[in-house]
Amino acid sequence: MATYETVLLREEDGVLEIRMNRPEVLNALDVRLKRELREAFQGEARREGVRVVLLSAAGRGFCAGQDLRDAEAEGRRTFGESLRGYYHPLIEAMLNLPRPVVAAVQGVAAGAGMSLALAADMRLLAASAQFVAAFSRIGLVPDSGLSYMLPRLVGLGRAMEMAMLAEPIDAESARSLGLANRVCADEDLASEAWAFCRRLADGPAHALGLTKKALQRGLELPLHEALEYEAGLQELAGRSAEYVEGVRAFREKRKPTYRPRDANGPG
C-alpha cells in the first residue's frame, strides 16, 4: 500500500479508509493533500480487494476547503489549473469509482471540503458536523462539483440559499435536507462509519458498483433510456457469480456470502 504525508490509509475487511491528516488547519486542502487524495482515489481505491472506501478526517473538522495560505506554494497557478489539475480528477475519481464511497464528517466541511463530502455516495455525520458552502464568503462561486451535487441532493431553491448566504447547516438540518444518511454522537462516528462500511463490504460488490452507476445515470436520462440502461446493467449483474450465490442462498434459506472465499468465489 502507498504511504503519504497528509493522507493516512487503513485497510481492513475490504474497507479502505482514506483519512485526511492536517488537523491543525482543519484539513485545509494544500497542494500536497490534494495530490495525495487524488492519487489515493485514482490508485489505492481501485486496488483489487477494496470493496468500500471510507473518506474521513483527523481532528475536530472534516475539511475547511482550499488552503487559503497555500496559493504561493502552488506557484503561478490559476484557478483553472488548481481545479482541473487536482479537484476535478479527485471528484471524478470518487464518482466514477465502481464501489461505494462513504464520508464520515465531524466538525466543519467548508467550501471544497463540503464538495468532497457531497461527492461521496453516502454521508455519516457526527453531531458536531456543519456544512458551509463558504465560496461566496470570499467572493468565489461553488466549485469542485458543489454546483452539480448540491441541487441534486437538496433541490434548486435550497441550494441557491446555501450557496449564496453560506450559513452553516448543522447535522440535524443536514439530515432533514437529505445531506446526511445518519447522524451519531461524535465519539461514535468512527465505529459507526466502520460498521456501516463493513455492512456494505459484505454486500455483492459487483452489483453495488453497478447500482451506483444506475442511480447516477437515472438522474440524467429520460425514462426510456434509464430503463434501457438498467436493463443493460441487469444483464451484467444477472450473469455474475453474485447472482448465482444470492439465489442459491435464498433457496437454501441462509444468508448469502458475497465475499470471495477463494479465487473462484463470487467477488
Q: What is the spatial distance between Cα 190 and Cα 196, in angstroms, rounded to a whole number?
A: 10
Interacting stretch for ligand T3D, rule CB under 6 A, among 4-12, 77-85, 194-202, 211-219? 77-85
Catalytic residue among 13, 88, 202, 224: 88
Interacting stretch for ligand T3D, rule CB under 6 A, among 107-115, 181-189, 218-226, 247-255? 107-115
Least Å distance between CB 110 and ligand T3D? 4
Nearest to 79 by CA among 55, 39, 112: 112
Number of H helices, E strands in the chain: 11, 9
Catalytic residue among 67, 121, 143, 206: 143
Using rule CB under 6 A, residue 185 touches ligand T3D = no
Interacting stretch for ligand T3D, rule CB under 6 A, among 24-32, 47-55, 96-104, 228-236? 24-32
Q: What is the spatial distance between Cα 163 and Cα 150, in angstroms, rounded to a whole number?
A: 9
Residues 118-157 that bind ligand T3D (CB under 6 A): 132, 134-135, 137-138, 140, 143
Nearest to 53 by CA among 87, 108, 7, 22: 7
Write out the three cell numbers for 91.
471528484
Residue 56, classed as helix, strand or coil, is: strand
Name which position in 14, 111, 246, 266 contacts ligand T3D (CB under 6 A): 111
Q: Which residues is 183 bridged to in the sheet?
A: 125
Q: What is the spatial distance between Cα 43 and Cα 220, in angstroms, rounded to a whole number?
A: 27
- Specify the residue, 112 or 189, whose C-beta has the smaller distance to ligand T3D: 112
Please give the residue ranges that form the binding site for ligand T3D (CB under 6 A).
25-26, 28, 64-69, 79, 82-83, 108, 110-112, 132, 134-135, 137-138, 140, 143
Q: Would you name the residues annotated as active-site residues? A: 88, 143
